[in-house]
Structure 1
Amino acid sequence: MLRVRPLHFTSNIEAWARLLTALGMVLTEGDGGFRVYDSAAGRLALHEVPKGSAEEGTTALAVEVGDLAEFTRRTNQAAEAEGTTPAELTSADHGEACRITAPDGFSFLADKAAHGAQCADADPALAVVAVWFTEDPDAASRTLRQIGARPRPVPDQDETADFTAKNGGVLVVRPAAGPARSGLGFEYDGGLEPLQERLASAGFQVSVTEEAFARTLHVANPDAPGTSAAHVPETLWISQRHA
């Protein structure tokens, strides 16, 4: 199995909890300073950190798998043709995991999934999107294919690449200058107006942007107030998904 499950660090965990609930996600693990919310496609973990810490407002790309040893074996087998072994079993703070390291130096963790089912109570139209920004999008795309992510068509012909995970969630590669890094977004399969109304009713500032290939909701980022950190965007985006 393969499921998208980014890890977001925030000092505003209650505001994030309200936002994710308004988006139609459901709390399925944890409480207090660590919580996991399920969408119908992908999950998002929240980790509380002190205000002003270096991690605040950042998102770590991460996935969940069924069997760590088998996932590691299959990933390295898929990479053998290129003479690389990107996956390695390791001990993380929270237990055993698999670390995947790409040619651009970017690395992320695969953790063992707590459960395999998708949340039946979550909004069926919402998906979690993990973003990989990199100067080497081709190598990033190869790495995602090696872990079992499934390419899907994109409307333009630039260096962007989109993937889906078998057990839920979206992984996207976006070209960007500087060190490789990760980001967070969402997709919504259907009209954005009901979601916009739901977010506004929950007290969030939200607007719609008409873009070249899709409409996008922009909702105020709970981490933005009180910070001038360049890595914390003013808004989070929810793109309209078209078949």
Structure 2
Amino acid sequence: MKDKPMLRVRPLHYTSNIGSWERLLTALGLVLAEGDGGFRVYDAGAGRLALHEVPAGAAEDGTTALAVEVGDLAEFGRRTNLAAQDEGTTPAELVTESHGEACRITGPDGFTFLADKAATVDGDTGADPALAVVGVWFTEDADAAARTLRHIGARPRPVPDNDETADFTAKNGGVLLVRPASGPPRSGLGFEYDGGLAPLRDRLTAAGLEATLTEEAFGSTLHVANPDAAGPGAPSVPATVWISQHRPMG
């Protein structure tokens, strides 16, 4: 069996506070990889994050679009649809977006996200190797969302309980999570850290950022003030950005 094609997590976050986000990402250990001004892409130890500047109060301000990067768009789409053929669906479609060619994936719940042609990442980027970018798919149909992520080549990993959550890793970096939620499907953004969170908290506070460490059901989570929470869209924007501690299943 041939190896699965390239897949890397790369959410797109819209913000009117791009400077504040750059300060947060730099303190977390991400490194600017491409772009400047209103569009920037940052490398983490695993996965990437793109920032897209929008005017304050824009509908997208403070929101994140789930997205991935792949090596060959046509081959990615073909393999995704082949994997889904037993369900009689073709979730992948090649499309032309404002930024160029892409592949659009549509889940059974109507949620869509893009796969873009990957940029080359050569060797050590200088990013903190313990930090991973996490893209989240919130949906009322968690089982179907999980199947779609399997179809695109995401790798399932064990979860600490038997609820409707599902965790995946991408071959070329990053984490994808499915979480049950009421209402229309939507995406979310977070990070995962393979190491102690207390030193990371200290690094963030030394950079002048407000960070709080909490103990939760299945591990520790670090909460950092969200740069977008003070904007016009504050009621619908999470107050914090979370970084969970990675704890491999024994």
Give the alignment's TM-score, normalised by structure 2: 0.95
Establish whether residue 98 from structure 1 lines up as the match of residue 103 from structure 2. Answer: yes
Which ranges of structure 1 fall in alignment gaps of 5 or more residues? none
Which ranges of structure 2 fall in alignment gaps of 5 or more residues? 1-5
Establish whether residue 167 from structure 1 lines up as the match of residue 172 from structure 2. Answer: yes
Establish whether residue 17 from structure 1 lines up as the match of residue 2 from structure 2. Answer: no
1:4-37 CA-to-partner distances (Å, cap 9, x unmatched) read: 0000000000000010000000000100000000
Establish whether residue 157 from structure 1 lines up as the match of residue 187 from structure 2. Answer: no
Which AA in structure 2 matches 1:193?
A
Residue in 1 that maps onto 2:226: 221
* C-alpha displacement of 1:226: 3.5
Asked if the contact 1:8–1:44 (Cα under 8 Å) also holds between the matched residues in 2, the reply is yes
Residue in 2 that maps onto 1:235: 240
Residue in 1 that maps onto 2:62: 57
1:92-143 CA-to-partner distances (Å, cap 9, x unmatched) read: 1100000000100000000000114464310010000000000000000000
Residue in 2 that maps onto 1:87: 92
Distance in 2 of aligned mates of 1:29 and 1:72 = 26
Residue in 2 that maps onto 1:75: 80
Q: Any runs of at least 4 consecutive aligned residues in structure 1 with deviations exceeding 6 A, and if so which?
A: none
- Root-mean-square deviation (Å): 0.9
Residue in 2 that maps onto 1:115: 120
Q: How many residues align?
A: 243
Which AA in structure 2 matches 1:212?
A
Q: Note closer, same or farther for the CA distance 1:87–1:48 as it changes in structure 2 (3 Å cut).
A: same
Aligned mate of 1:66, from 57, 71, 81: 71
Asked if the contact 1:96–1:111 (Cα under 8 Å) also holds between the matched residues in 2, the reply is yes
Residue in 1 that maps onto 2:53: 48
Give the alignment's TM-score, normalised by structure 1: 0.98
Distance in 2 of aligned mates of 1:179 and 1:6 = 19
Establish whether residue 205 from structure 1 lines up as the match of residue 224 from structure 2. Answer: no
Residue in 1 that maps onto 2:3: none
Q: Identity of paired residues, percent?
A: 76
Distance in 1 of aligned mates of 2:22 and 2:102 = 26
